[in-house]
Homo-oligomer: A and B are copies of this chain.
Amino acid sequence: FENDAVRHLFKQIFKASLQLQKDDSKKHLLVSRKKQAEDTVVTLGSTQVGNGTPTIVAGPCSVESEEQVRAVAKALKNNGVTLMRGGAFKPRTSPYDFQGLGVEGLEILRRVADEYELQVISEIVSPSDIELATKYVDVIQIGARNMQNFELLKAAGNVNTPVLLKRGLSATMEEFLHAAEYIVSRGNKNVILCERGIRTYEKWTRNTLDISAVPLLKNESHLPVVVDVTHSAGRRDILVPLAKAALAAGADAVMVEVHPNPAVALSDAQQQIDIPTFDQFMTDLHASKLFPSLVESK
């Protein structure tokens, strides 16, 4: 092995083999670009996620009442936003925190969404609730804490309702794509990936928005990519620049939490924006040229 020529030869073989190994390990992933070159487009009513025109997902952290949801729905409608998020089953750090309204929350979301012609995105946390959820929601959200709850992923893979899968708190890109593969490999091809910030040492933001994840995921996978700016930032004052950055980086949608009165919200009181702030948020995005104007988008 001390002979230079042999060493050189080995290095060449090594490099070729390394590439081979890598290609090998990725070649069976259904979520990869290598398996499907064209973008997956998820159709949600009149809106398409992943077709090159970015869109917005907005709504309250938790569903608290029909009045609250209606106030938000109206604001979405006014701003040309058709995708409404809202939490009915809330995964909370403490068992003593508000755990959501459950099925009653889903019913409220559905009723108000139908009234305003919106699509509903809501988190499901138990495999046994997936079937039930398909009756109420247009998109099943799987949250960051459940990204590697493989039983939940499998259950979501067994239905046809689109799934918005959030990246785990400290999930690698590879783990994120493999989690999506759990769903797609079961037959449900309508998966939307959601970057929502990762956990780092930095505490001026609740999480660190990993903006690089957007182009990496778009390059590696054909699935649409959404950026949740609210959970990334955990504060209101930088939501507009983060949303612009997400769109500039190639995100298919931006998700933001809106509440009629954040100060009294039963969860995430510090980071939801009120309706006038949401109106301004939308105005700023339209003005940025990174986002189609309201007229164009209709």
Contact of A249 among B17, B21, B241 (CB under 8 A): B241
Are B208 and A178 interface neighbours, CB within 8 A? no
Considering only CB atoms and an 8 Å cut-off, how many residues of chain A contact the other chain? 73
Q: Are A93 and B178 in contact (CB under 8 A)?
A: yes
A203 touches which of B149, B172, B245 (Cβ 8 Å)? B172
Q: A95-B181, A145-B148, A216-B238 are in contact. List 10 more A-B contacts (CB 8 A).
A: A1-B20, A11-B21, A92-B150, A126-B127, A170-B170, A170-B201, A214-B241, A215-B237, A241-B250, A245-B249
Give which listed residue, B181, B205, B212, contacts A209 with CB less than 8 A: B212
- Inter-chain contact A208/B212, CB cutoff 8 Å: yes
Contact among B125, B173, B242, B246 with A151 in the assembled complex (CB-CB below 8 Å): B125
A172 close to B151 (CB less than 8 A): no
Question: Is A290 positioned at the interface, with any CB of B under 8 Å from its CB?
Answer: yes
**Contact sample, A vs B, 19 pairs, CB 8 Å cutoff:** A1-B20, A11-B21, A13-B13, A96-B185, A125-B149, A127-B127, A127-B128, A145-B148, A146-B149, A168-B169, A172-B201, A200-B201, A202-B210, A205-B216, A209-B210, A209-B211, A211-B242, A245-B248, A248-B288
| In the assembled complex, A3 has its CB within 8 A of some CB on chain B | no
Contacts of A150 in B (CB 8 A): 91-92, 95, 125, 145
Q: A98 CB to closest chain B CB, in angstroms?
A: 13
User: A245 vs B143: C-alpha distance in the bound complex, in angstroms?
Assistant: 25
Cβ-based interface call for A244 (8 A):
yes
A289 sits at the interface (CB 8 A): yes
Chain A residues 215-249 with CB under 8 Å of chain B are 215-216, 219, 232-233, 237-238, 241-242, 244-249
Expressed in whole angstroms, the Cα–Cα distance for A12 and B231 within the complex equals 27
Specify which chain B residues have a CB less than 8 angstroms from the CB of A202 in the assembled complex: 172-173, 198, 210
Contact status A219-B238, CB under 8 Å = yes
Q: Does A115 contact B (CB under 8 A)?
A: no
Q: Is the CB of A290 within 8 A of B125?
A: no
